[in-house]
Amino acid sequence: MSAYIQLDNAICVPVELAERSYRVWIGPEVRHRLADVIPADVARVAVVTQSAVAAAGITVDPGVEHRVFIVDDGEQVKTLSRVEQLCSEFAQWGLTRKDAVVAVGGGAVTDLAGFVAAVYHRGVRVVYVSTTLLGQIDASVGGKTGVNLPEGKNLVGAFWQPLAVLCDTEALGTLSAAEMRSGLGEIAKYHFIGGSRADGLEDLSLAERIARCVQIKAEVVAADERESGRRAILNYGHTLAHALEAHGGYNLRHGEAVAIGLVYAAEVAKKMGRISAERVQEHRNVVSGYDLPCSLPPNADVKALLRLFSKDKKATEGVTFVLDGSNGVEPVTGLAPDMLLEVLEAIR
């Protein structure tokens, strides 16, 4: 934990991006530090949150004049029409480029409000108060913002780094078991992309584990902010996960889909001679250690999943997978469809 700053019951992880650098604070009730991270020249704050978050008592005080904008619950809020509506509401209120947006909620709220912040008045400052496990270890860190189109998820967006991220671990107590499982699948991913940083991840407290995952992600983002290469490793396990989610018939949480995707990616890597059977077993042990599935749903339509692989947003040269190997996890292009299908059949 050497690179962490520990202060008053919270852990602080820096995200080093030159003039866009910021800190991610992790701990119980860190949302109450919000006023401390709002710059002194901000006169007004637009707080964007969801009714379920407010109803769970997760509210914030930015310490300056503010107005709360409630958006619908869930991923369906990430639409261009909601972006337009929020921009209009901000304009009617008189929010200026000198002010700030604060998003309070999970990944859907931070993705939406972050994108609105990126485009409103050509960019206003934004702070995230992240309240879900999935949001804390992924969406809130690294500056990806965006909304969905009917044609696919996150197809419209911008890189826009927040000023600070507050990951309130007290808020995790308000999540359903299913929502927690969704975050655990992403945590499982970090066991394999963090190199030595990921050693002993399983022995840490939840707050420390979140901090270590954030630290791993921060290092990847610092090396490749705009995903011209290395950042793609954060999608380990996600090609199959996205296909399972896009198919829509399997009723899987994101983390469950990622868990199956991790095992599948390991089996594909073994098939290609990149990793050993023992390394595949490590994947299975980590995934089942989080009580997440290692197999496809029994009714999975493997041919449909294969077709969906080539529609993945990251697929620039045929089917691309992030695969483990002697150099660690890395994107590999041009995978043979027959082999992918055979391995899909094998993990049913």
324 binds ligand GLY, rule: CB under 6 A: no
**Among 226-234, 254-262, 274-282, 306-314, the segment contacting ligand GLY (CB under 6 A):** 226-234
Instruction: Tell me the closest approach of the beta carbon of residue 117 to ligand GLY, in angstroms.
Output: 17
Instruction: Tell me the closest approach of the beta carbon of residue 175 to ligand GLY, in angstroms.
Output: 19
Active site residue 217: yes
Instruction: Tell me the closest approach of the beta carbon of residue 1 to ligand GLY, in angstroms.
Output: 23
Within 142-161, which residues bind ligand GLY (CB under 6 A)? 142, 144
Distances in Å between the alpha carbon of 47 and those of 68, 89, 151, 185, 300?
5, 12, 29, 29, 41
Helix (H, G, I), strand (E, B) or coil at 193: helix
Residue closer to ligand GLY, measured from CB, 42 or 214: 214
Residue 248, both tokens: 């829509």
**Among 87-95, 119-127, 138-146, 292-300, the segment contacting ligand GLY (CB under 6 A):** 138-146
How far does CA 7 lie from the centroid of its chain? 25
Cβ atoms 116, 86 nearer than 8 A: yes
Residue closer to ligand GLY, measured from CB, 34 or 147: 147
Distance between CA 90 and CA 96 in Å, rounded?
8
Output the DSSP codes for 284-332: HHHHHHTT---S--TT--HHHHHHHHTTSTT-SSSS-EEE--TT-SEEE
234 binds ligand GLY, rule: CB under 6 A: yes
Active site residue 242: yes
Cβ atoms 112, 165 nearer than 8 A: no
Instruction: Tell me the closest approach of the beta carbon of residue 298 to ligand GLY, in angstroms.
Output: 29
C-alpha angle 150-153-154 in degrees, rounded to nearest 5:
115
**Among 137-145, 152-160, 284-292, 334-342, the segment contacting ligand GLY (CB under 6 A):** 137-145
Q: Tell me 79's DSSP state.
A: -
Q: What letter represents residue 241's amino acid?
A: A
Which candidate in 31, 125, 144, 189 is catalytic? 144
114 binds ligand GLY, rule: CB under 6 A: no
Distance between CA 251 and CA 339 in Å, rounded?
26
Instruction: Tell me the closest approach of the beta carbon of residue 301 to ligand GLY, in angstroms.
Output: 26
Long-range contacts (CB closer than 8 Å, 24 or more residues apart) made by 84-90: 86/48, 86/112, 86/113, 86/116, 86/120, 87/116, 87/119, 87/120, 90/46, 90/116, 90/120
**Among 30-38, 44-52, 116-124, 136-144, the segment contacting ligand GLY (CB under 6 A):** 136-144
Active site residue 254: yes
231 binds ligand GLY, rule: CB under 6 A: yes
Residue closer to ligand GLY, measured from CB, 218 or 347: 218
Active site residues: 122, 144, 186, 217, 227, 231, 235, 238, 242, 254
Residues that bind ligand GLY (CB under 6 A): 138, 142, 144, 227, 231, 234
